[in-house]
Amino acid sequence: MSRQSDHSKAAKSLKEGPVIYQSEDSLLDEDRVKKDLALAELNHIFKLYLAKKSSRLTDLSILGQFSVIFNDSRMAEWHCLNKREQNDALSELVVLPEVYNELIGKIGETAGDAQIISSIVKDAYQNSIDSFSHAAYIQQKYTSRFPGFKVILYLDQKRKHTILLVVDNGYGKNVAKPRKSYLGEDMDSSLSNRIIEWCINKFGKSEDMVDRRIAYTGGQGMALKKIKIELNLDVNVHYLTTGAVFELQLSNFF
């Protein structure tokens, strides 16, 4: 039996896979509705990504997947929190439950290199958390659902590629974030830098304006350029209507 046939036989439904809750295992009825809406949105974003790639679900074999739901009530009131309160909350959100390490380890083993996959996904989900912060403040998005991300490893049977995705239901656009010092503080918060930034955005790229009311983790781990140059892997980020998809092509592993 061919390896491709083995993968087809092991393929999973898009609705399968464990769901991690950030705060607790039990949810109130209202929270369960918000959780279900978040999971449905993540699957919808994945389908939008497939449409953008001109791919179909029938062409895929899902080899592994799991979801992380941040059921933190503060996200619904994010626009009412000051930046220090947001920073304190983000410091808690980036610390995921131990079961996450087990699940991402399994995904990494299936992909062929658990350590590299874990490191890359860490950078992707931390950038997702920054996107949640932006969406919660600008759009007040998480009053009806929770923020969350979904890790999917799949085999594209048609193109003969293995793809790792981190799907999130954040802002859905590229967000300009302030640079961070090694202490985690904004490096360009001085008056002179703000004036320069205002001038640049007044007469140039207004979409790159940093909104200083919003807290960001700044992201950690490997940047996209580092993944491409040092690991020689094909990586992209797709911004869609209601979220984003971090895509890593692992064609060398299968």
Give 36's pLDDT tier (boundaries 50, 70, 90). Answer: very high
Q: Which of 78, 67, 66, 75 is nearest to 31 (CA)?
A: 75
SS3 172: coil
- In the chain, what percentage of residues exceed pLDDT 90? 53
Give 184's pLDDT tier (boundaries 50, 70, 90). Answer: low
Q: Kindly tell me the number of DSSP H helices and DSSP E strands found in the chain.
A: 7, 6
Residue 203, both tokens? 């007469």
**Amino acid occupying residue 246:** F
Quick one: pLDDT at residue 2? 35
Q: Judge residue 128's burial from the number of C-beta atoms within 10 Å of its C-beta, 0-12 exposed, 13-18 middle, 19 or more buried.
A: buried
SS3 178: coil
- How much is the mean pLDDT over the chain? 83
End-to-end CA distance of the chain: 15
**What is residue 144's DSSP assignment?**
S
Q: Which of 210, 111, 217 is nearest to 163 (CA)?
A: 111
Ordered by start, the domain boundaries in the chain are: 3-176+211-253
Complete DSSP assignment for 179-244:
-B-TTS-BTT-SHHHHHHHHHHHHHS-GGG---TTS------S--HHHHHHHS--EEEEEEETTEE
Give 220's pLDDT tier (boundaries 50, 70, 90). Answer: low
Give 226's pLDDT tier (boundaries 50, 70, 90). Answer: confident
Report the residue count for the chain. 254
Residue where the block lists tokens 């083995």: 6
Q: Judge residue 216's burial from the number of C-beta atoms within 10 Å of its C-beta, 0-12 exposed, 13-18 middle, 19 or more buried.
A: buried
Q: Judge residue 166's burial from the number of C-beta atoms within 10 Å of its C-beta, 0-12 exposed, 13-18 middle, 19 or more buried.
A: buried
CA distance 63 to 210: 38
* CA–CA–CA angle 223, 152, 146 (5° rounding): 85
Helices 83-93 and 114-138: crossing angle, nearest 10°?
150
Instruction: Render pLDDT for 114-126 as a digit per residue (tens, 0 to 9).
Output: 999 999 999 899 9
Quote the pTM value: 0.84
- What residue ranges in the chain does DSSP mark as E strands? 19-21, 60-69, 148-156, 161-168, 234-240, 243-249
Quick one: pLDDT at residue 31? 87
